[in-house]
Each structure stands twice: as structure tokens, then as C-alpha cells.
Structure 1
């Protein structure tokens, strides 16, 4: 090895840097453990403790905050917390840029883009396609009633569509970046340690990861609020009441009276009790008189009517708001409004903490343009504070222009004895009257039924500013901290067990050379974790699986080198020449490089098409490949060269294993008809199962909501499924997850509807349906929110919207096909003959179909989950990488033997070459299978299906490399090429005989 001193120097420096980078993680863990001990389970006290030491110097002259920023970040599956993917509405941005244009072509193109978007096509590109189709060249984007408006000075009438598109691309990108900054500021003020916020390419999606976050509903409200603050005058009951009565009378003529039942009576009693809780009375005026037996379509929905002189028109149950909206927004019903009220807008209040099932109805005095007299753009600062009664409120300061308008608006309200509604994101937070004259100076406050946290969040939102467009949560995942700790324990146990098994086998099989490989493996792990820490990479449970898998593949290069060395020693080479030959390009280096390039291609495609935990798996896999190559090629050789220098012998085996897996003479080509037939049966049965049984597709692929719920006693999945089906009104699938005290619940209930209110409704229904299955009472907050040490209730939840599921599925297809195509091209370039690539691709396709077939055939009765999701795709791509790796090692030896001087016909040459790789194939497969078995047993329920796919894939991949790829290569090789190879080998043998003679 050239420049041994330089290699040693870099190895030592690399090791020291890795230890330095990892030291920050150990120091951070030390102080976080102290914080937990101090807090005694109180998460608020824990955060306060960590905040108090944030600026204290704790390590190497650096503060705790600086040290914590350099530790290895743990993903949500290890730390617990909340992960959401937000979709910024490009449609809303375009409507805003077009000044809410009423142009028919423009609006039809917006609708078409939403419904006809293809695969990973961006909404903006879909809009351009739809607009070109709808306009047919007759309508231009730069029309005065579309984008050439006063809000968009960069675009003028007469510009070409291509010029306008360039400007729109820029504007949309700026809007998404603006949204990103707003989210960043909101989250930074929330107090979560190490939040991760990133834009996902140009998709308009923003990923937000909040490790340790616990209050689910609060986080979702914080993220989805657009902060569209408006101030409107309101109508009072006595002003709008006649319209309500007229609307009710009209609806009597158009609506059918529903059948009365016992459930309706229960609902009414519930409404009465909620009103009592809210107002302490059940007094009702004519608009809320439920004693009247006559059918009143609108009035019957009132839980209670508003009082004379009040801006609150009445109280309604939350479930009835959709029907009320439908009635009041109908064109024929709105025609009943008096001329001076025709622009009235109905808006709902914020649900009360005392009666969360009830909500207030208001009527706002809007205008033709729908532009409020005062908006949130005038607010210059906001802070949470307390009013004179010590109730939490949000204080606001306005700009001079806003202060003047506010003074005029409050002056008018005072004179007319009216109210001003403070509306945030179309929700009325409060509608106070003005009792002491115009308010000057621009100081005001928002009051409501706030907790301290509510007031803090609202002030935070107003300070950060409004979003340029709506943001919908298209994917979310919530992981409780106790589940995260279980994942850490399971991952560490499987990693340590895997390391011990691999190290023990290498030492047992290869003797001292195996110990050198183990030292290289330990160095590999040190370098791997050091790089993860220095890059600020996020460690996830699949990432740990990637590390454990790296341990299995890391020794592969050492196995290839050791097997080559044994062959050289058998030929009579001395140790120095043996080591030199083994590490040469014509020795072990070429197959090692070819095998690892196929792995790298798979990892790159995984990283490009995966998301979240899959990127973590790909990251550790790619880094592990790089570090294992370095340690296998350089670290292990340093010790071997020392043996040569010291004159010590090195056998690359032990007395027991000396003749293991040697002198194989199996005819792989002779049994090809049998293996072809077996593989054909496998493929046919698998495809039949695809059509008959289908797959257990996870929510990643089909969309839906998933909850992992822990009970304090055993429950029956079917019973829970039936109960939740009654509560939700749609099917809720329940499966045992790990043991009968834990269920995985999946439903498509309102998965297409976005908004924090919908998510909260789902959580509340889930709580109502499941609270009876607990021995001890559990509150809604205890059931839903993640708390330290939590072991019951919702310990993990996820949601994937239909658009996100469609993109995930599309990415999965491209990832699998792309990896196979990339490897096919690489093998054509490396081996110079397409027959090698074809043999490898047939082998890999067979393996993928086999694994899919196993999942399709057995998912209904296996005791663990076998869902087809992103984790499964990661497993499939890993199988592709391994199968290619194994096949490439075999093909490299075939190529070597074809180019050499082996005697015999073409089939014998190929058989001999395959037999000589069996020792390597068995050893590598065996170490990987043992590691995966350990992970399968100890790795935890959440990754068992993921590991099972890899385990089956490794086994079938070993079979296909030997019994399928090689026969395909032989059968597709042109006859003239075979004859040429046989002729050349015959001549070489005759020359050898002549030389000996």
C-alpha cells in the first residue's frame, strides 16, 4: 500500500474529529438527563431548566445552546414529537396575484389544475397547461382582468404568456419563501428544541418537525392559521332577526321534515346542558324555542337564540354549522335579505372551553368588495398580557394610519351603539361594544375565552405576520415520547446484538484476519456517527436499521479480500504478494467497487425519492458505504502489512474453518430448467395473488388517518372497529399491533378535509369511541396529547392526504424503476456486454416480485403488519441493492474466468467461476441474515415488517444470483461468442501444455 504513513495520519485525524463531534451529543445527553431528574416528569419545568442553562458555558468554552445544536439529532420516531407536511395553496397565491379575478377562463383553469394534476407535476405547471387548453390562444395571462392589474405592476397588457409565466414563477416562489419565514418565526417563538423546518423543492410543501412537542391541537392551530386579521362592524339580533325568521319560513317550503328519534332527544338535552354550562341559564327567546313542535328548518337548529341588543345571533351545535352555512349561503335564501343588508356575511365564533360543542353565530357588515375597514396589516406589535380582571388577552399596537382608522371605527361604533368583531381566519374571537368613546393611540386588545397558551400563540401568530396563502396539512405524524424511548431501546439492542454476532463470526471464520476486520468495523461505526453528527443529520429508527445493515455489508469487502487471499495462498504465493494481489484492481478491488457502486445508486435514488425516515435510512446507508470502503481497504490492511513486516503468518482462516466452503463442483447450469420452472411458478402465483388478494396498502399510498392506541387491558379488535364505525359513520379498521393491549386504527374519515378544526373533531370522536375501554377514567388531553412517560392513549398518529399519497406512490414507482434502470446502465458500461445487465435485471425483478408475492399472499394472517408503505419501498430498494451486489460479485468472477485460461467448455468455465464465489456468497449472506434476524426479533413492532421484507429479499436474492442470473447470462450469450471463448481457452491450454513439455 502506497503512502501508508499518510493513510495512518488521516485515519487518526478522522477518528479524533469523529470523537470531538460525538462529544457534543454525550454532553447534551448529560444535561438533558439532569433536566429530567430536576423536573420529575414535568415537561414545562424540564424546558425551563434547559432554557435557564442555555447561555451558560458547559463544554470547551461553548454554551449549552451551542453544544446542543451540534449533537446528533434524533428523529421523531426516537424523540417523540410532531411532524407535518404543509401544502401552501398555490391556487390562493394565483388568485391573490390576479386580484381575485372573475375571468371564467382563469377560474376554470384553476379548477382544472387542481383536479387534473399529473403525478409529481406542480400545481403551477398544471395551471399553465389548463390555461393554455382553456384559452385556446384567445385569452392572455396579461389580460387586464387577470394578471395585468394594479396589484401586479410588473405585468402589463400586451406581454406574452411566456413573459407572464416567468414573472408568476418568481412571485409564487417568493410567496412560498415568505410562508417559510413566517413558519420559522412562529416555531422559533414556540419553544421547541431543535425544530426542523425546510422547503421541499419547488412543490409548495414545507416540512415542519418539532421533536418533543406534545400539545397536538395547539401545534396544528399554530401552523394552519393564516393570521388573516380583520375588523368588522356587526349586526345585532334585532337588526338581522327578521331575516332569520323570513329564511326559516321560506325553508319550510323547500325542506322536508326529518323523522324524530330518541337520538335527537338526546342531542337536544346535550345542547341544553352545554348552554347551561355556558350561560348558567336555559332561557330562550322565540328564535331558540325548542318547545315548538312545528317543523322549523333553521330555528330548530338553534341551541339557543341571541339576546336583544347582542351581536350573537344564537348558539349552535358544532355538528350543525355545515347545515346552517348551507341554508344561509343559498342564493335563494340570501335574496330575502333587505337591500341595506345584502352584503351581510355570517361568521362563527370560537368554541368555548366550557361548552366546546357549541359555537356562536355572528353577522358582519361587509361590502361589495369584501374588504374590511381595518385589517391586520396595520398591527405593528402584539403581546400576551392580562386585562383588569386578570384574564389572558392579546394586546396590539397599530401603525399611525391604522390608529387613525381605528379611532374613526370605534368612534362610529360608540355613536351608533354597535359592536366591532375581531375576526382571525374567518373566526370571530370577540365582538365587544365601545362604551367610553373613540379609542385613540392605536392600542387595543383581543379578548376571548383564552388560556395563557392561547394568548401566547395568538400574539406569536400576529407578530410573525400572515401567510401569503392558506396552508393545509397534507401529511402528519405524531409520536409519543414513550414510544420513541421504546424505539431507541429496541434499536440499540438490535445494533449491539448485530455487532456482537458479526464480530464473533468474523473472528471464528477468518481468525486473526477476522479480528482485523472487526477493528475496521469499529472504526467504521466511529466514522459513521462522527459524520452524522458533523452533518447535523437526523437519526431515525430506519436510520438505525441502515447502520445495522451497514455492519453486515461493511464486512463484505473484508470477506471478498480474505477469500481472494486464501486463493492466492493456496497457489503458493507468499504473504506479501498475497496481500498485494488481494488488494489489486484485478484481485478484490474491481468486484468491491462494482458491488458498492450498485449500492450507492440505490441509496441515491432512495434519498431522492424518499421522505422523512426513508431519507434517514438512505443517509446512513450512503455514509456507511463510504466509511466501510475506507476502513476495509485501508484500516484492515495496515494490520496485515504489520504482520508481513514482522514476519508473522496470516492464514485468513482458523483450524476449524480451513476447508469450509471449498472445492465446490456444483453444476448450476445443469439445474437451470428446474430453477427456471420454480421461478416461473413463483412469478405466476405472485401475479395471481396481486389480482386476487391485492396488498395491505398503508396510508402512505392510499391516504387516510392512522392511530396507534395503547389500552390498560386487552381489547378485541373487531369490537373496537364496530364501535368506532358507529361513532365515525364510516369504516374504521382495527388491527392488533404487537399485543392485544395495543391497536392500530385506520380510517379515511374526512381525510380530504383540511384544517385544525377537522383534525380536532377526529381526535374527539376517537376519544368518545374509546374512553369506555379504559379501566380508569382518562381525559381528552391525557388521551390525545403526548406527555413524558405516557404509556396509554394515542402514542402515535399520522395522516396522509390524497394528494400526498398520490405523490408518494408515484415516487415509489419511479424509485424502484429508476434504481433498476440506473444499475442496468452501469453494468452495461462496466461489463461491456448487455447480457450481464439482463441477467442482473431478471434476477432483481424476480426478487422484487417474490417479496411482493409473499406480502400479498400472507398479509391477512401474519402476526405482524405487512403494509406496503414507504418503509417497505426502502426495504425493496435495499433488496435490489443487495441482489445486484451479490450478482455483480458472481459476474466479476465469471468475467475474470472468461478472460483467463481455465480449461473446459463455456458452461464449465462459468460453473467453475460461480463455485469459487460460494464461500464469499455464503459468508456475506449468513452475516446479513443473522443481523436481520436479530433486528426482526428485537427491533420492535414498528419496523418488523420492514425487516421481514429485507430478510426474505436477502434469502431469495442469494438464490437468484446463483440459479437465475447466471443461467440467463449463459443462455443469452451469442453462440459465436461462446465458441470464440472456448477456442481461446483451448489455445491457452495447449500453450501451457507445450510450455511444460
Structure 2
């Protein structure tokens, strides 16, 4: 083995990196446990705001190896998905309807009709909404140009009355895209300020949708309100520090009193928690320089009548104030880690009484480094007037763009309408020399000073901006230009209890599944099995380490993918071991057999893993949520399992060879297993065709008459999972909910156990109002509170709108077809014969057809859900990958035998039969290993993935069957047909040649 030292170094490096990132994950979880323990009272109830304050206190503090902060740890760790810890996942859509309506600015009923018609078509079409609107407008107003509706003074530089419909459509699309970008930034800011550790926010490519995952949230209504509200832009006057300083005098006195009370009652002060890892507080305490705001305030304090104690009291108040607030010379700031504590204090009634009645404190949207201690971040604090009833709001802004001022520095140009220009003139005229805050969603984005009265509605905002900051501010100002609300079109809520139960089930199934695989491999391959097991454990360790380094999220299907990748990674070892065994039977020495075994197995290993890689990549591209987690685990697992099987196993064999030792590949009961097997797979292929056809026809009949149980992903609707104290009858639950759902269709199924049900309904699915969700939650829980004396409660829920359900179906069909096309192309390129492509293609359709049929036939017969949803599509794609993995290994051996037997008088069926028998042991061992893992997942994996795992379990059986009894016999038939055609051509060729010779002689 060449470069053995390099491979050892690479292995050590990979293991070290994995240990490092897994240790980071362990530390992050340890901090969360400490935070939860701190926030749990004697009754066991968790105060989540208190937990968040604890995390905030350590957020910017080095907590790992003296240099990694809590924030860094939680941004790059192996996180748990919502299904394993509870939380909420939401898909938001930026409403193009409202944007088009606002841009039109017309009360023409034809515009409203075109928008309404486009909305209806959008529910079942993937065409861009703007194109649908333009098409519908042309129908209702064929003689009216779009420019006459959309051209106005605010877009004079872009559109005119002479603009074509195409130019107008492009303009609207650009505005919609801009609104989407602004909405994404705004929601990103809202999520960042929401106080959830490890949130996930991503744009769904090709759509105007945003997916938000918030682990651990326990207030869905607050999330809905936070995410779906339109952005609120305000221009407010700001109190100067001179005006607000007397209020801080009183605040310093209250803070000193709070410190004294805290010490007297021996309660743990939040500042001490922050102080455990923060040395800056001590430094700030002793700061009495003239530039310190706290010192300036304390110097003006006259509340102590005793001259002797006046200086000491002032110093103590300064210290109490400086522990939380930092004077910046032109204002006041707060350490980021202390914001939760400050919020709590500022909401006290005695503190609020100190400040003017119309004063509202707000934070700057961006934190910055502390000038005296650059290792910590601070955020500026503003006191603005009349928040919520501001003198000017964002609806008056008609345009904003990034520009440059006279000195060449980045600036922002802002244009207002006539009403805005009038109010802006009055506002700026009254605040010359003072700042005006530009506020979005209660965060200050900028507070520029007014140099003079501004008339005409056009303003230039300059400052120490970077180009990016100026662009951000322009986007903020444009956020108030159009009403672009974000509608929740899909949501999933998983209760914390459900998540913890799923996590336990997933971990238990993982451990049991891995142990079964390790035991089977050891029993089957003896000492070589021990080497394979070490390689498998290394593979598992590397897989988790790589996922942690990527900051991946582990979901329940992800755990299934993890365990399945371990089961399937046995395949690479099996391919190598079976080839080594063949080389040993040929009489080769152990070192030569090992070398040739690894070499000869490489082609099959590469081909089989590339086909799995193709389907995994398709899952990764088209999947979302849980399926994306599964695909991520599967893809990473392919590379780590290949590395472990090819290099780690080889290192152990090289070690034994270097010691002059051999490794046994047999036990007593496996030595003769599959030896000299001579099954006739080919001659009875018509019987197998008949059996497969009968199963597929039965499935088609069932699909035609019985149909599928479409999941909410594809059907659209609401789903609730409810847990009862005792066994409950599904009909009783359905009756209890009839009033709540106004006699709309309700489907109630037993889910996991007879005390748990899954409720599905399309009731009010088109309504995107967050208040409707709140009302429904309350109504459903009230209806389930007493079902014939049996108390139930909703533990998780989901909602999928009709538009996204339609898109899910389209995406699923695209994913399956793309996977089939890519696999066919790869097989044709690798094997250079259409016969192999035909065999693979027929086998894929065969496997998918049988799985679909079985899900229809057995729906309602099995004690778990067989809904066809996105998880089912993920299972089908994975089955296709496994089936191709198996088929390609067989094809690879067939190609090898055909090459070796060239010139030998053996017919194609005989050659292929021998090839199938040669791979039979590999097929059996890999199939059994995978089935064992899936069986464990089916039993212990939990209800959430039971249907998904059942599809995989059946798929592995069907995929193995199709490789042996469908795909390869198709190759036989195709090759025999090709040979007959070639023989016919050869038989005809001499005749043509003879005629040509005769013509030549005549000439």
C-alpha cells in the first residue's frame, strides 16, 4: 500500500477535527443544560426568559478553550432539529398580490379582477404571479396598456406611458424581488432579536418564500405575529442626553437600592452570572473619568443631605449605574449580554416614572465593539418621542437609493410624496441641530442630525456609512414604500415533550441498529468482521464530526439516514471481502489476495456509490425540512463510509501483512454458505415477469378504486397530533371536532398508540391571518379537553397552504424523473450498452410502481400512517438509490464476465447466471444488514418516521428482488435481441459484398 504514512496522518487529522467539533457540540449542550437548571424553579417549571438571560450573559464570553464564545459554539454545532427538541418551523411568502395592487395605485375594477383571477390560477400553477396577472389583465382589458396603470411620478425615470407591457412586467418583477429582499432582511433582523439559540433562516430558491426554523420556542402566537406583520417604518424625534440625564440620576439611585436589596436577601444577582466570565465589569466600575456619563450624572446628584456621605454615595451610584450602562460621550450604550437585564429594569413602574411620558427607549439595530474593551460588544440606546404615533411614517417614502455625497462618501437619497414632503419640512424645521431617528420594527437604523429645514421631499442622509450600510438603509426606507406583508403558508409546531420522546426513540433505535449490524458482520466474517466493525465505528465518528463542523442539524429522518448509512456502508467492506475470498480460493497468497481484492472491488464500489450519490443529491436539491436533514446525512455518509472501508480497513490488513499474519474471513457456519451456488435466475425470467406484473396490476387496481392517503404536504390543510389520558375512539374525536370545523371534512387516525390521534382538515386553509391560527388552537384544545370524559391536548400541529401543496407535488415529480434520467445517463456512460440502461430503467419503474401499489393496498390495514407525503418521496428516491446500488454491482460483475468469456463458447444466459451467483453472497449480506437496521427503526424509531421506514424496508426487499429477477433478465433479453439483429446483418453482408465484387469484375 503506497503512501501509508500519508493516509495515517490524514486519518489522525480527520479524527482530531471530529473530536474538536463534537467537543464543541458537547460544550454547547452543557451550557444549555446549565441555563435550563438556572431557570427551573422548585416545581420544575422553566422560566424561558430567565433561561435566555443566562445565555445572553455568556453570549459573547469565551467559554471553550479560552477563545470560542457561546455565540460561536451555537452557530457551528451538531444541532437538533425541531422534531427532536420541539419548536416551530414556518414558511413565509412575500405577498406579490399586495405589491402589484399598491404599484397599480388604481381603483379600476379590471385591475382587481385580474389580480383575483391570477390568485386563483396561482394556487395550481408554478408560473410567476406577475406573468399570471399580466395575462389576466390582457383578458379583461385587451385594449389597455399596462403602462397607463403603472406609470406615475415616482417611477418616471423607469416607466412612461409609451413603455411596452413587457417593460412594465419587468419593472413589477424587479419591485417584487426588491420587496422580497427587504422582507428577508427585516425577518432576519426580527429572528436575530427574537432570542432563540441556533435559529435557521433560508431563502427557498426559485420562489419568493422564506423558511424560518426556531428551535425551542413555546409561544407560536408570538412567532406568527413577529414574522407575518408588515414592516413599520417611522421617523421620530430623539431626546438628547442633556434632556434625559436627570432621569438617569434617579435610575442610578434605584440600581444602587436594587443591589443592596439583592445582597441583603442573598439572592443570586444576574450581574454576578455575567461577571463569572467578564472582567470588563470591574474595569467599568472604577471608571470615574469626566467622559464617563455615570460620573457626570452622579456629580449632579443632590439627594443625599449628609455632606460627609455625599461623595461616597455618588461613587456607589456611579458603580451601580456603570455595571449596566456605558457612557459613550454622545449618549449611552448597553453591553449586548446585559440587554435582557436592562429590559427587565426599564419595564419597572418606578423606573418608567422617571422618564418623560412620551419617551420610549430603543436599541440600535447593530451592535459594535466597545472602545475600552474590544472583546465585548455594546449596542447604543436611544430615547425617542411618540413611538407608535410618529409624526411621519414610511408610507410617504416613494423611493430611496444608495448614492454618494459631495465629498464622495456613501450616502442615501430619499424621495417622499407631497404629503410626506410637507410633514418632513415641518419636522426637520423643528429639529435643526438635533437627530431624527429612522426606526423599523422598533430598532433604530440611523439617527442623523438635521442640518437645516428640508423642503421638496428630497433628502440626502449622510454619515460614516460604508457602501453596504448605505444600501441597507436605502432598503429600510424602501420597506415603507410598499405594503408587502409576509403570509404564513406552511407551519409545523412540535411540542417539547414530543421532541424529547422522538429524540429518545431515535437514539435508542440508532444504538440497537448499529449493535445488530456490528454483531452480524462479526459473526459472518470472523476476524475480518472485527476490522470491518472498527471501520464502521470510525465511519460513524467521522460522519458525526463532519456534520458538526458544517453546523448541520440532526433530524429524526437524519438519524434514520445516519443508521442506514452505517448499514449500507457495510456494502463497501462486503464487496472487498468477497473479492479477497475469491482471490484466496484461486490459491493466491494472503498479501496478493488482499491487494487484488481491493483493486478488483474498486469498480463496483465507485459505480454503486455514484448512483446513491445521484439520488442523494436530488434529495438535497429538492428536499426541505426533514428530508433535507436525511439527504445531508446520507451524502456525508457516502464519503465517510468510502474513506473508512477503503483506507481504514486497508491499514489494518497492511498491519497484519507486515507482521506476517493472516486474517480469517470465515466462521464454521459461513465457510460453505453460498459456496458453489448455482441458482438458475435467467431461465425462469418469464415467471418473475408474471409475478411482478401481477403485483403491479393489483396496485394499479387499488390506486384506481381506493386511491392514496395523501399527506398534508400534498393535499394542503391543517394537521393536529393530540395525546389523550386514556385510549380514545377516533369517531368520538371526529364528533367532538365537528362544531369547531363547521362540519368540514375531518380525518382522524390513530397515531402511534391508541391514546394518540392525528387530525387532518382543510378547514380555513386559505386564511393566512395569525389570529385565525390562535382561535383554532384554542377551539381545538377546548373540544379535545373532554371527549367522553377523556382529556386530550394538542402536542404538535402543522399547516400547509394549497399553493405550497401544489408546489410540493410538482417538486416530487421533478425529483423522481430527474433521478431516473441521471441514473440512466450514468449507467449508459459506464457500461456502453443500452441493454444495461434498459434494465436499470425498467427496474426503477418496477420498484416505484410496487411501492406505490403497496401503500395503496395496505392503507388502513397497518397500525401506522401510510400517507404519501414528502417523507414518502424521500423514501422512494432512497429506494431508487439502493436499488441502483444493488443493480450496478450485479451489472459490474456481468460486464466483467462478458469480457472474460469473450471468445469462449458460452451463451449469454449462462454467463449472466454465473455472474449473478458470484454476487449472491454480497447481495445477501448487504441486504440483510440494511434490513436489520430498518427493522429496528421500524420498531423503535417512533411514529413520526414509521411510514417512511416501512417504505424503505419494503423497498430494500423489492430493490434486491428487481436486481436479480428483473433488471438482469431484461439485460439478457435485450442483448439476445441485439445479437440476433447483428447476426442478421452479418448474414446479409456477404451477399452485398458478392454483388459488389461481381460489379467490379464486370467493370
Taking structure 1 as the reference length, what is the TM-score of the superposition?
0.73
User: Displacement, 1:168?
Assistant: 3.6
For structure 1, the residue ranges without an aligned partner over 5 or more in a row are 232-380, 407-437, 443-455, 778-791, 985-997
User: Displacement, 1:104?
Assistant: 6.2
CA separation of 1:620 and 1:387: change in aligned 2, threshold 3 A: same
Show the counterpart of 1:657.
670
User: Displacement, 1:123?
Assistant: 2.1
CA separation of 1:401 and 1:841: change in aligned 2, threshold 3 A: closer
Deviations, residues 377-420 of structure 1 (Å, cap 9, x unaligned): xxxx9x985789989999484699997679xxxxxxxxxxxxxx
Tell me, in whole angstroms, the C-alpha distance in 1 between the residues paired with 2:359 and 2:671.
79
Tell me, in whole angstroms, the C-alpha distance in 1 between the residues paired with 2:441 and 2:141.
43
Show the counterpart of 1:697.
710
CA separation of 1:698 and 1:4: change in aligned 2, threshold 3 A: same
8 A Cα contact 1:80 1:213, kept in partner: yes
Tell me, in whole angstroms, the C-alpha distance in 1 between the residues paired with 2:978 and 2:888.
24
Tell me, in whole angstroms, the C-alpha distance in 1 between the residues paired with 2:930 and 2:682.
26
Show the counterpart of 1:27.
27
Deviations, residues 946-974 of structure 1 (Å, cap 9, x unaligned): 10110001011111111111111111224
User: Displacement, 1:679?
Assistant: 0.7
CA separation of 1:669 and 1:196: change in aligned 2, threshold 3 A: same
Tell me, in whole angstroms, the C-alpha distance in 1 between the residues paired with 2:19 and 2:358.
50
8 A Cα contact 1:88 1:176, kept in partner: yes
Tell me, in whole angstroms, the C-alpha distance in 1 between the residues paired with 2:140 and 2:823.
42
User: Displacement, 1:190?
Assistant: 1.8
CA separation of 1:44 and 1:576: change in aligned 2, threshold 3 A: same
User: Displacement, 1:979?
Assistant: 9.8
User: Displacement, 1:165?
Assistant: 4.2
Tell me, in whole angstroms, the C-alpha distance in 2 between the residues paired with 1:386 and 1:59.
36
Show the counterpart of 1:939.
941
User: Displacement, 1:653?
Assistant: 2.4
CA separation of 1:111 and 1:559: change in aligned 2, threshold 3 A: same
Show the counterpart of 2:769.
755
Aligned length: 770
Tell me, in whole angstroms, the C-alpha distance in 2 between the residues paired with 1:741 and 1:69.
38
More deviation in 624-633 or 40-49? 40-49
Q: What secondary structure does 2:149 align onto? A: coil
More deviation in 627-636 or 121-130? 121-130
Deviations, residues 290-317 of structure 1 (Å, cap 9, x unaligned): xxxxxxxxxxxxxxxxxxxxxxxxxxxx
Taking structure 2 as the reference length, what is the TM-score of the superposition?
0.72
Show the counterpart of 1:854.
854
CA separation of 1:393 and 1:630: change in aligned 2, threshold 3 A: farther
Matches within 5 A, 1:334-733: 395=360, 397=384, 459=442, 468-584=483-599, 587-729=600-742, 730-733=744-747
Tell me, in whole angstroms, the C-alpha distance in 1 between the residues paired with 2:545 and 2:679.
45
Show the counterpart of 1:54.
59
Tell me, in whole angstroms, the C-alpha distance in 1 between the residues paired with 2:554 and 2:392.
53
Tell me, in whole angstroms, the C-alpha distance in 1 between the residues paired with 2:195 and 2:829.
53
8 A Cα contact 2:360 2:385, kept in partner: no
Deviations, residues 926-985 of structure 1 (Å, cap 9, x unaligned): 00000000111110111111101100010111111111111111112244537989xx9x
Deviations, residues 768-788 of structure 1 (Å, cap 9, x unaligned): 2112249799xxxxxxxxxxx
CA separation of 1:22 and 1:63: change in aligned 2, threshold 3 A: same
Tell me, in whole angstroms, the C-alpha distance in 2 between the residues paired with 1:943 and 1:191.
30
Show the counterpart of 2:802.
802
Show the counterpart of 2:128.
122
Q: What secondary structure does 1:623 align onto? A: helix
Q: What secondary structure does 2:786 align onto? A: helix
CA separation of 1:152 and 1:621: change in aligned 2, threshold 3 A: farther
Deviations, residues 169-213 of structure 1 (Å, cap 9, x unaligned): 333222111001111122222211121111111311011111011
CA separation of 1:863 and 1:402: change in aligned 2, threshold 3 A: closer
8 A Cα contact 1:173 1:202, kept in partner: no
Tell me, in whole angstroms, the C-alpha distance in 1 between the residues paired with 2:489 and 2:87.
17
CA separation of 1:550 and 1:168: change in aligned 2, threshold 3 A: same
Tell me, in whole angstroms, the C-alpha distance in 2 between the residues paired with 1:14 and 1:22.
12
Show the counterpart of 2:159.
155
Q: What secondary structure does 1:710 align onto? A: strand
More deviation in 7-16 or 902-911? 902-911
Q: What secondary structure does 1:746 align onto? A: strand
Q: What secondary structure does 2:672 align onto? A: coil
User: Displacement, 1:150?
Assistant: 2.2
More deviation in 838-847 or 396-405? 396-405
CA separation of 1:950 and 1:976: change in aligned 2, threshold 3 A: closer
User: Displacement, 1:761?
Assistant: 1.9
CA separation of 1:664 and 1:119: change in aligned 2, threshold 3 A: farther
Show the counterpart of 2:217.
213
Show the counterpart of 1:280.
none
Q: What secondary structure does 1:548 align onto? A: helix
8 A Cα contact 1:196 1:209, kept in partner: yes
User: Displacement, 1:221?
Assistant: 1.4
Q: What secondary structure does 1:735 align onto? A: strand
Tell me, in whole angstroms, the C-alpha distance in 1 between the residues paired with 2:763 and 2:108.
35
Q: What secondary structure does 2:217 align onto? A: coil
User: Displacement, 1:507?
Assistant: 1.4
Q: What secondary structure does 1:664 align onto? A: coil
User: Displacement, 1:222?
Assistant: 1.5
Show the counterpart of 1:451.
none
Show the counterpart of 1:4.
4
Query: Is 1:196 the equivalent of 2:210?
Result: no
CA separation of 1:567 and 1:758: change in aligned 2, threshold 3 A: same
Query: Is 1:176 the equivalent of 2:180?
Result: yes
For structure 2, the residue ranges without an aligned partner over 5 or more in a row are 236-342, 362-383, 394-426, 432-438, 447-475, 987-1003
Tell me, in whole angstroms, the C-alpha distance in 1 between the residues paired with 2:86 and 2:862.
28
Tell me, in whole angstroms, the C-alpha distance in 2 between the residues paired with 1:877 and 1:94.
39
Show the counterpart of 2:916.
914
User: Displacement, 1:713?
Assistant: 2.3
Tell me, in whole angstroms, the C-alpha distance in 1 between the residues paired with 2:636 and 2:151.
48
Tell me, in whole angstroms, the C-alpha distance in 1 between the residues paired with 2:563 and 2:37.
31
Show the counterpart of 2:82.
76
Q: What secondary structure does 2:756 align onto? A: strand
Q: What secondary structure does 2:738 align onto? A: helix
Tell me, in whole angstroms, the C-alpha distance in 2 between the residues paired with 1:457 and 1:726.
42
Tell me, in whole angstroms, the C-alpha distance in 1 between the residues paired with 2:390 and 2:108.
36
Matches within 5 A, 1:732-743: 732-743=746-757
User: Displacement, 1:9?
Assistant: 1.2
Tell me, in whole angstroms, the C-alpha distance in 1 between the residues paired with 2:772 and 2:14.
51
Deviations, residues 15-52 of structure 1 (Å, cap 9, x unaligned): 11111111111111112222222222313332222222
Tell me, in whole angstroms, the C-alpha distance in 2 between the residues paired with 1:128 and 1:606.
34
